[in-house]
Protein backbone atom coordinates (compact mmCIF):
# COMPACT_ATOMS: atom_id res chain seq x y z
CA UNK A 1 0.00 0.00 0.00
CA UNK A 2 1.33 3.38 -0.97
CA UNK A 3 0.95 6.16 1.56
CA UNK A 4 1.88 9.84 1.53
CA UNK A 5 2.36 12.41 4.24
CA UNK A 6 -0.04 15.34 4.14
CA UNK A 7 -0.57 18.40 6.30
CA UNK A 8 -3.86 20.29 6.46
CA UNK A 9 -3.29 23.63 4.74
CA UNK A 10 -6.78 24.91 4.00
CA UNK A 11 -10.43 24.32 4.68
CA UNK A 12 -13.08 25.64 2.30
CA UNK A 13 -16.69 26.02 3.36
CA UNK A 14 -19.86 26.94 1.52
CA UNK A 15 -23.06 28.24 3.08
CA UNK A 16 -22.03 28.14 6.73
CA UNK A 17 -20.65 30.72 9.10
CA UNK A 18 -17.03 30.65 10.15
CA UNK A 19 -17.96 30.57 13.82
CA UNK A 20 -19.87 27.35 13.28
CA UNK A 21 -17.20 25.72 11.14
CA UNK A 22 -14.36 25.94 13.60
CA UNK A 23 -16.14 24.84 16.76
CA UNK A 24 -14.59 21.74 18.22
CA UNK A 25 -16.74 18.63 17.94
CA UNK A 26 -17.33 16.61 21.08
CA UNK A 27 -18.95 13.19 21.12
CA UNK A 28 -20.59 11.93 24.28
CA UNK A 29 -22.53 8.69 24.52
CA UNK A 30 -23.63 7.96 28.10
CA UNK A 31 -25.80 4.86 28.24
CA UNK A 32 -28.94 6.82 29.15
CA UNK A 33 -28.58 9.23 26.24
CA UNK A 34 -27.68 6.42 23.82
CA UNK A 35 -30.76 4.44 24.85
CA UNK A 36 -33.10 7.38 24.36
CA UNK A 37 -31.50 8.20 21.02
CA UNK A 38 -31.76 4.60 19.79
CA UNK A 39 -35.51 4.57 20.36
CA UNK A 40 -36.07 7.61 18.16
CA UNK A 41 -33.25 7.31 15.63
CA UNK A 42 -33.91 7.01 11.92
CA UNK A 43 -31.74 4.54 10.06
CA UNK A 44 -28.91 6.07 8.06
CA UNK A 45 -26.79 3.92 5.76
CA UNK A 46 -23.14 4.66 5.06
CA UNK A 47 -22.34 2.95 1.76
CA UNK A 48 -18.60 2.43 1.36
CA UNK A 49 -17.74 2.20 -2.33
CA UNK A 50 -15.06 -0.49 -2.61
CA UNK A 51 -13.35 -0.34 -5.98
CA UNK A 52 -10.46 -2.32 -7.46
CA UNK A 53 -7.81 -0.02 -5.92
CA UNK A 54 -6.76 -0.43 -2.29
CA UNK A 55 -7.91 2.50 -0.10
CA UNK A 56 -5.34 4.83 1.43
CA UNK A 57 -7.56 6.37 4.11
CA UNK A 58 -10.80 4.40 4.52
CA UNK A 59 -8.83 1.27 5.32
CA UNK A 60 -9.92 -1.86 7.22
CA UNK A 61 -8.07 -0.36 10.19
CA UNK A 62 -10.07 2.91 10.13
CA UNK A 63 -13.56 1.72 9.19
CA UNK A 64 -14.23 -0.20 12.44
CA UNK A 65 -13.45 2.95 14.41
CA UNK A 66 -15.83 5.03 12.31
CA UNK A 67 -18.51 2.39 12.80
CA UNK A 68 -18.06 2.49 16.57
CA UNK A 69 -18.36 6.28 16.55
CA UNK A 70 -21.65 6.09 14.61
CA UNK A 71 -23.50 3.25 16.36
CA UNK A 72 -26.89 4.31 14.99
CA UNK A 73 -25.76 4.12 11.36
CA UNK A 74 -25.92 1.06 9.18
CA UNK A 75 -22.61 0.48 7.43
CA UNK A 76 -22.53 -1.39 4.16
CA UNK A 77 -19.82 -2.18 1.62
CA UNK A 78 -20.76 -1.69 -2.03
CA UNK A 79 -18.25 -3.59 -4.13
CA UNK A 80 -17.82 -2.24 -7.66
CA UNK A 81 -15.79 -3.89 -10.39
CA UNK A 82 -14.69 -0.58 -11.91
CA UNK A 83 -15.28 3.15 -11.66
CA UNK A 84 -17.75 3.44 -14.53
CA UNK A 85 -20.98 5.38 -13.91
CA UNK A 86 -23.21 2.45 -14.87
CA UNK A 87 -21.44 0.10 -12.46
CA UNK A 88 -21.68 2.52 -9.54
CA UNK A 89 -25.33 3.35 -10.21
CA UNK A 90 -26.23 -0.33 -10.52
CA UNK A 91 -24.41 -1.43 -7.38
CA UNK A 92 -25.61 1.45 -5.22
CA UNK A 93 -29.22 0.97 -6.35
CA UNK A 94 -29.03 -2.74 -5.55
CA UNK A 95 -27.66 -2.11 -2.05
CA UNK A 96 -30.19 0.63 -1.30
CA UNK A 97 -33.00 -1.73 -2.28
CA UNK A 98 -31.49 -4.60 -0.27
CA UNK A 99 -31.19 -2.47 2.86
CA UNK A 100 -34.65 -0.94 2.33
CA UNK A 101 -33.54 2.68 2.75
CA UNK A 102 -34.38 5.87 0.89
CA UNK A 103 -31.95 8.27 -0.82
CA UNK A 104 -32.12 10.88 2.01
CA UNK A 105 -30.82 8.18 4.35
CA UNK A 106 -27.78 7.25 2.25
CA UNK A 107 -24.24 8.58 2.67
CA UNK A 108 -21.70 7.56 0.06
CA UNK A 109 -18.03 7.19 0.94
CA UNK A 110 -15.31 6.53 -1.59
CA UNK A 111 -11.72 7.14 -2.62
CA UNK A 112 -9.88 7.88 -5.83
CA UNK A 113 -11.47 7.25 -9.23
CA UNK A 114 -14.56 5.58 -7.77
CA UNK A 115 -15.17 8.62 -5.57
CA UNK A 116 -14.68 10.95 -8.54
CA UNK A 117 -17.29 9.08 -10.57
CA UNK A 118 -19.74 9.09 -7.65
CA UNK A 119 -19.15 12.82 -7.20
CA UNK A 120 -19.86 13.50 -10.86
CA UNK A 121 -23.06 11.45 -10.69
CA UNK A 122 -24.25 13.45 -7.68
CA UNK A 123 -23.36 16.79 -9.27
CA UNK A 124 -25.14 15.77 -12.49
CA UNK A 125 -28.28 15.00 -10.48
CA UNK A 126 -28.12 11.35 -11.53
CA UNK A 127 -27.33 9.85 -8.11
CA UNK A 128 -29.41 11.02 -5.16
CA UNK A 129 -28.11 10.77 -1.60
CA UNK A 130 -27.93 12.65 1.69
CA UNK A 131 -24.20 13.20 1.42
CA UNK A 132 -20.95 12.16 -0.19
CA UNK A 133 -17.47 11.93 1.29
CA UNK A 134 -14.90 11.75 -1.49
CA UNK A 135 -11.27 11.14 -0.48
CA UNK A 136 -8.19 11.66 -2.66
CA UNK A 137 -10.43 12.46 -5.58
CA UNK A 138 -8.89 13.60 -8.90
CA UNK A 139 -9.50 17.32 -9.41
CA UNK A 140 -9.72 17.50 -13.20
CA UNK A 141 -12.30 19.92 -14.67
CA UNK A 142 -15.93 18.85 -14.73
CA UNK A 143 -17.14 18.12 -18.27
CA UNK A 144 -20.65 19.36 -17.48
CA UNK A 145 -22.59 22.08 -15.68
CA UNK A 146 -23.30 21.34 -12.02
CA UNK A 147 -26.94 20.63 -11.20
CA UNK A 148 -28.19 21.97 -7.83
CA UNK A 149 -28.35 19.19 -5.26
CA UNK A 150 -29.42 18.90 -1.63
CA UNK A 151 -26.62 16.40 -0.99
CA UNK A 152 -23.82 17.56 1.32
CA UNK A 153 -20.46 17.25 -0.42
CA UNK A 154 -17.34 16.66 1.67
CA UNK A 155 -13.91 16.37 0.05
CA UNK A 156 -10.48 15.45 1.41
CA UNK A 157 -7.95 16.13 -1.34
CA UNK A 158 -4.26 16.58 -1.92
CA UNK A 159 -3.38 20.26 -2.24
CA UNK A 160 -0.89 19.95 -5.07
CA UNK A 161 -3.51 18.17 -7.20
CA UNK A 162 -6.30 20.70 -6.52
CA UNK A 163 -4.97 24.24 -6.79
CA UNK A 164 -7.11 27.37 -6.82
CA UNK A 165 -7.28 27.59 -10.59
CA UNK A 166 -10.35 28.04 -12.82
CA UNK A 167 -9.70 24.72 -14.57
CA UNK A 168 -10.02 22.69 -11.36
CA UNK A 169 -13.51 21.54 -10.43
CA UNK A 170 -13.13 22.71 -6.82
CA UNK A 171 -13.21 26.33 -7.98
CA UNK A 172 -16.43 25.60 -9.85
CA UNK A 173 -17.95 23.80 -6.87
CA UNK A 174 -17.16 26.65 -4.49
CA UNK A 175 -19.04 29.06 -6.75
CA UNK A 176 -22.31 27.16 -6.28
CA UNK A 177 -24.82 27.18 -3.42
CA UNK A 178 -24.18 23.50 -2.71
CA UNK A 179 -23.34 22.54 0.88
CA UNK A 180 -19.67 21.74 0.26
CA UNK A 181 -16.69 21.53 2.57
CA UNK A 182 -13.19 20.80 1.35
CA UNK A 183 -10.07 19.98 3.31
CA UNK A 184 -6.84 20.16 1.31
CA UNK A 185 -3.76 18.48 2.71
CA UNK A 186 -0.13 19.29 2.06
CA UNK A 187 1.77 16.17 0.88
CA UNK A 188 5.04 17.52 2.31
CA UNK A 189 4.03 17.15 5.95
CA UNK A 190 4.62 14.27 8.29
CA UNK A 191 1.93 11.81 9.45
CA UNK A 192 -0.21 12.51 6.42
CA UNK A 193 -2.28 9.33 6.44
CA UNK A 194 -3.28 10.06 10.03
CA UNK A 195 -4.22 13.66 9.16
CA UNK A 196 -6.29 12.51 6.19
CA UNK A 197 -8.04 9.86 8.28
CA UNK A 198 -8.80 12.42 11.00
CA UNK A 199 -10.28 14.85 8.46
CA UNK A 200 -12.37 12.10 6.89
CA UNK A 201 -13.56 10.92 10.30
CA UNK A 202 -14.80 14.42 11.18
CA UNK A 203 -16.77 14.56 7.94
CA UNK A 204 -18.22 11.06 8.52
CA UNK A 205 -19.54 12.04 11.95
CA UNK A 206 -21.02 15.26 10.58
CA UNK A 207 -22.70 13.60 7.60
CA UNK A 208 -24.25 10.83 9.69
CA UNK A 209 -25.56 13.29 12.28
CA UNK A 210 -27.02 15.59 9.63
CA UNK A 211 -28.63 12.79 7.63
CA UNK A 212 -30.21 11.31 10.74
CA UNK A 213 -31.57 14.68 11.82
CA UNK A 214 -32.94 15.51 8.38
CA UNK A 215 -34.55 12.09 8.00
CA UNK A 216 -36.36 12.48 11.32
CA UNK A 217 -37.48 15.97 10.33
CA UNK A 218 -38.93 14.78 7.02
CA UNK A 219 -40.30 11.56 8.46
CA UNK A 220 -38.30 9.26 6.20
Quote the pTM value. Answer: 0.77
Rounded to an integer, what distance in angstroms lies between the CA atom of residue 111 and that of residue 84? 14
Rounded to an integer, what distance in angstroms lies between the CA atom of residue 41 and that of residue 31? 15
> How many Cα atoms within 13 Å fall on the side-chain side of residue 43?
11
Strands 7-13 and 131-135: unpaired
Q: How many CB atoms lie within 10 A of CB 24?
A: 4
Q: How do the domains of the chain map onto residue ranges? A: 7-16+42-218
Query: Residue 215: what pLDDT?
Result: 65
Query: Residue 37: what pLDDT?
Result: 40
Rounded to an integer, what distance in angstroms lies between the CA atom of residue 217 and that of residue 46? 19
Rounded to an integer, what distance in angstroms lies between the CA atom of residue 80 and that of residue 154? 21
Quick one: which of 81, 82, 133 has its CA closest to 106? 133
Q: How far is CA 83 from the centre of its chain?
A: 17
Per-residue pLDDT of the chain (220 residues; tens, 9 = 90+): 444 444 444 445 554 433 333 333 333 433 443 334 443 455 899 999 999 888 888 888 889 999 999 998 999 999 999 999 999 999 999 999 999 999 989 999 999 999 999 999 999 999 999 999 999 888 788 888 899 899 999 999 876 656 555 556 777 887 888 899 988 877 655 466 778 888 899 999 999 999 988 766 555 5
One CATH from 3.30.70.1340, 1.10.10.60, 3.40.50.1820, 3.20.20.70 for 7-16+42-218 = 3.40.50.1820
Amino acid sequence: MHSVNWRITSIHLNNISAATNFKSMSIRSPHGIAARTARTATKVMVAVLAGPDAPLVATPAELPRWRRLTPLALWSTVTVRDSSPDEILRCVAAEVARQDVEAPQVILLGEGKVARTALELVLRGTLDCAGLLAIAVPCAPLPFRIVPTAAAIRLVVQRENCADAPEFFITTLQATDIDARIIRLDPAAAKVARAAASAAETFVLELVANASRQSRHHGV
